[in-house]
């Protein structure tokens, strides 16, 4: 694996594991904290997609970005509806705060790129992001979610996001 891809994977690993001195591990988050992390992760990917639509001229990138906006928006709407039904509010936590902070920095970085440099960075980021989020959801969140309704939503969403990962992988190969 090229060094820049290894750094991307390491960066995303750090996104999901670092926190403050009071931070819990992702596996120790409660259902409402997990819901908030997922909502933030979806919202971040929507932001990345809007950036891609604004900066890329590549039709494959545009198609992927539109898919990200559609699918992540739909999952967020389902999650908000479920929280409303359950009479619950998501809870901010070390992981959602870390994701937001790191996403802001990455958006600033990517917004400076143009052409193939942007397309490559966006595609590689989408692949690494989906790999990291999918692993987090599959191995830390789903096994520890207590609510059967929340767990079911995460299991359905994971299927969609694994398809995104495969699509991102093909996009990276095509661009490289």
How would residue 40 be classed by pLDDT, with cut points 50, 70 and 90? very high
> Does residue 133 surpass a pLDDT of 90?
yes
Question: What would the mean pLDDT of 19-43 be, rounded to a whole number?
Answer: 79
Domain boundaries, the chain: 30-175
CATH (residue range 30-175) = 1.20.1260.10
Compute CA distances 147 → 92, 141, 160, whole Å: 18, 12, 20
Report d(CA 154, CA 141) in Å as an integer: 8
**Residues whose CB is less than 8 angstroms from the CB of residue 90 and which lie 6 or more positions away in sequence, other chains included:** 32, 33, 35, 36, 39, 83
Instruction: Name the token pair of 36.
Output: 């908030």
pLDDT band at 119 (very low <50, low <70, confident <90, very high): very high
pTM above 0.75, yes or no: yes
């Amino acid at each position: 694996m090229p060094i820049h891809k290894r750094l991307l994977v390491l960066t995303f690993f750090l996104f999901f594991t670092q926190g403050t001195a009071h931070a819990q591990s992702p596996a120790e988050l409660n259902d409402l904290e997990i819901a908030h992390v997922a909502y933030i992760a979806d919202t971040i990917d929507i932001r990345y997609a809007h950036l891609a639509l604004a900066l890329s001229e590549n039709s494959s990138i545009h198609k992927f970005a539109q898919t990200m906006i559609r699918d992540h928006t739909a999952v967020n709407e389902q999650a908000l509806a479920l929280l409303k039904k359950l009479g619950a509010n998501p809870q901010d936590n070390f992981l959602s705060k870390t994701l937001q902070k790191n996403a802001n920095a990455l958006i600033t970085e990517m917004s400076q790129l143009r052409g193939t440099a942007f397309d490559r960075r966006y595609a590689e980021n989408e692949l690494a992001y989906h790999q990291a989020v999918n692993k987090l959801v599959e191995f830390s969140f789903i096994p520890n979610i207590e609510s059967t309704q929340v767990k079911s939503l995460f299991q359905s969403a994971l299927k969609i996001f694994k398809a995104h990962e495969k699509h991102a992988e093909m996009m990276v190969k095509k661009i490289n």
